[in-house]
Amino acid sequence: MGSDPAVDVPAEEMVTGLTTLTGSGQSEEKRVTLQIEPRAVFEGDTLTLSCLVRYGYKPDRIEFYKDNIVLQSQAGKVLRMDHVPKRDEGSYKCRVWWRSIYFLDSAEVWVSVRELFSKPTLTFTLVSPVWEGDAVTLQCAAQIYKQGTQLQYRYSKEGTDLRGSGSHDQHSIPAAGLRDTGKYQCEVEAAGTGLVKKTSDPVSLTVRELFSKPTLIFSPVSPVWEGEAVTLQCAAQIYKQGTQLQYRYSKEGTDLRGSGSQDQHSIPAAGLRDTGRYQCEVEAAGTGLVKKTSDHVSLTVRDGQPKPALSQKPDGEICEGDPVTLSCVVEGGFGGWRYLWYRDRQGAPVYQRDSSSGAGYTISAAALSHSGEYWCRAERERTSLHSQYSDPIRVNVTALFSRVTLTATPGVTVKEGEPLNLTCEAAVNKPTHPQLHYSIMRDGEPVTNSTDSALYSIASTEKSHTGSYKCAVESQGVRKSSQELHIEVQNLPSERLEKCKGAFG
């Protein structure tokens, strides 16, 4: 805003020697001056701006500008800026107003704000990724530009401050763990001010597993019985070649004897007192820094001998040719057993099989000879422990066919030229009737073979049809034959034979 010719300024309010203001707010002779102390400042310093009028009437308002943007409008001629940051660098001026009508601008003055120290850089003494147990140091480097400046350092991971902030430009991780994986930053500030702070870019640290969390297993599998030898196996996978492991075993939090380089711990003869919860701990040999513990695993020691349970499927009576399976399981269903089957109290087992969860003795096609009483018994793998005998099961195998008969119609003696029908019949004992296969034989040679018909018909017999006939029925691999039936075809008298021949043309 400039001067207004229409405004009459009283003589007593005129500024002595003030020349006429121009429209730009500038006079031919500069009467307003901006003084800045100091002209070159460091971050965090105090900057003082003084707007001076060479002579004249006291102004009613003074405005201070930075890069032509109003900073502050006030009555006083001094503006104090404490703790200036780098962003306060720029071009400054002041403007003096009288009655909000007349103003004069100072010349623009450039203010340089120098960095107190540089933006810090964070580095690791070991190149990421590192192994568990490695000692890692974080180095925070910042260049100081103002002599005598003391710096304070603070370190953080994923935005959370770490312990050990202070005057040291290093932060140590004595033994890196998987939890130390993440993004790190360091923040630097000028000591005693708490105002000038600068933060490094994030830097990632990856920590690799030296070995896996161990797994503890028992051999044989729990439960075990008194007197059995039990082995605790502590398994951990090594990821860094050359790593040596040390093992320690505990029961209910109390260390067991025999800790060392062995991944096994033995209980030669388990007793009831050995029942409890066990763990194993693994650490990298020679460091004592990287340790990992297995989950708790329970061991139960029982007294006496286990007794297996024996079952049959299908239940009840079975027929010849049917499959039948006997299942033997030690009570509780725990593994590590070998199963043996006995029949009719024979000295040696009729069958034996190793299994982790029980075992079955299968007869794919039962025969009458399979009828009898069966028992099972189990013995623990790699030990001398035997179970009791199971209760017996009686297997009853019924004949599939109670009888097979062959009948001749009209009879076993026929005349030449007469018809003959042979019928094969079987009495099946199985409720669900199986498919039957019929065959009829004469003198041992088959004359018919069918699954559809049990009938053999001869429309006109001849002398050659004389012979011994037998029929057989087969199903489910079971075959049963009838008794032999002798068929005789007799010769007709010559006169009757001629008549028969004439009758048949």
Task: Determine the pLDDT at residue 70.
Answer: 93
Nearest alpha carbon to residue 204 among 134, 118, 127: 127
Task: Determine the pLDDT at residue 223.
Answer: 85
Q: What is the DSSP letter of 497?
A: H
In 191-307, the DSSP E strands lie at 197-199, 203-205, 207-208, 215-219, 224-225, 230-235, 245-251, 254-255, 264-267, 276-284, 291-293, 297-299, 301-302
Q: For 3, how many CA atoms within 13 A lie in the half-sphere containing its CB?
A: 13
Give me the residue label for tokens 């530009």. 145
Mean pLDDT of 407-414: 94
Query: Rounded to 5 degrees, what angle do the CA atoms 133, 137, 141 make?
Result: 165
Cα torsion 186, 189, 194, 198 to 10°: value is -70
Kindly report, residue by residue over 42-58, the tens digit of the pLDDT: 988 899 999 998 877 78
Task: Determine the pLDDT at residue 471.
Answer: 94
In 168-273, the DSSP E strands lie at 170-173, 182-190, 197-199, 203-205, 207-208, 215-219, 224-225, 230-235, 245-251, 254-255, 264-267
Of residues 287 and 225, the one with the higher pLDDT is: 225
Ramachandran angles phi, psi of 284, nearest 5°? -70, 125
Q: What integer best gives the mean pLDDT of the chain?
A: 85
Task: Determine the pLDDT at residue 382.
Answer: 66
Task: Determine the pLDDT at residue 148.
Answer: 87
**Local confidence band at 27 (pLDDT 50, 70, 90 cut-offs):** very low
Among 13-22, 123-132, 326-335, the range with the most confident prediction by mean pLDDT is 123-132
pLDDT at position 23 over 70: no
pLDDT at position 473 over 80: yes
pLDDT at position 354 over 90: no
Enumerate domains of the chain plus CATH numbers.
11-114 (2.60.40.10), 121-208 (2.60.40.10), 215-302 (2.60.40.10), 308-398 (2.60.40.10), 401-490 (2.60.40.10)
**Local confidence band at 13 (pLDDT 50, 70, 90 cut-offs):** very low
Kindly report, residue by residue over 355-386, the tens digit of the pLDDT: 545 578 888 999 998 998 898 888 876 666 78
Among 61-75, 203-217, 485-499, the range with the most confident prediction by mean pLDDT is 203-217
Q: How many helices (H) and strands (E) does the chain have?
A: 1, 47
Cis peptide before 223 (omega within 30 of 0): yes
**Structure-token pair, residue 104:** 């004069």
pLDDT at position 502 over 60: no
Of residues 112 and 166, the one with the higher pLDDT is: 112
**Structure-token pair, residue 336:** 């590590």
pLDDT at position 215 over 60: yes
Question: For residue 460, what are the CA distances in angstroms to 354, 410, 445, 446?
Answer: 65, 13, 20, 19
CA 120, 123, 125, 130 dihedral sign is positive
Contact 202, 184 (CB under 8 A): yes
Query: Rounded to 5 degrees, what angle do the CA atoms 245, 247, 253 make?
Result: 145
Percent of the chain with pLDDT strictly greater than 70: 87
How far apart are the C-alpha atoms of 317 and 349, rounded to whole Å? 23
List residues bridging with 480 in a β-sheet.
473
Contact 291, 285 (CB under 8 A): no
Of residues 29 and 348, the one with the higher pLDDT is: 348
What pTM was computed for the model?
0.58
Contact 342, 375 (CB under 8 A): yes
Report DSSP letters for 65-78, one per residue: EETTEEEEEESSSE
User: What burial class does residue 353 get, using C-beta atoms within 10 Å of its C-beta: 0-12 exposed, 13-18 middle, 19+ buried?
Assistant: middle
Task: Determine the pLDDT at residue 144.
Answer: 94
Buried/exposed 187-221: b ≥16 CB within 10 Å, e otherwise: bbbbeebeebebebeeeebebebbbeebebebbbb
Nearest alpha carbon to residue 98 among 28, 25, 5: 25
pLDDT at position 470 over 50: yes
Task: Determine the pLDDT at residue 10.
Answer: 36
Mean pLDDT of 266-276: 94
Task: Determine the pLDDT at residue 12.
Answer: 32
pLDDT at position 1 over 50: no
How far apart are the C-alpha atoms of 445 and 468, rounded to whole Å? 10
User: What burial class does residue 43 get, using C-beta atoms within 10 Å of its C-beta: 0-12 exposed, 13-18 middle, 19+ buried?
Assistant: buried
User: What burial class does residue 230 get, using C-beta atoms within 10 Å of its C-beta: 0-12 exposed, 13-18 middle, 19+ buried?
Assistant: buried
Contact 45, 82 (CB under 8 A): no
Contact 451, 424 (CB under 8 A): no
Taking the alpha carbons at both ends of the chain, their separation in whole angstroms is 149
Task: Determine the pLDDT at residue 176.
Answer: 94
Kindly report, residue by residue over 55-80, the tens digit of the pLDDT: 777 888 999 999 999 998 888 899 99
Of residues 392 and 193, the one with the higher pLDDT is: 392
**Local confidence band at 286 (pLDDT 50, 70, 90 cut-offs):** confident
Percent of the chain with pLDDT strictly greater than 90: 53
Phi-psi domain of 96 (left: phi exceeds 0; alpha: psi -120 through 50; beta: other): beta
Phi-psi domain of 178 (left: phi exceeds 0; alpha: psi -120 through 50; beta: other): alpha
Task: Determine the pLDDT at residue 75.
Answer: 83
Task: Determine the pLDDT at residue 412.
Answer: 93
Question: For residue 265, what are the CA distances in angstroms to 18, 229, 247, 269?
Answer: 105, 11, 9, 13
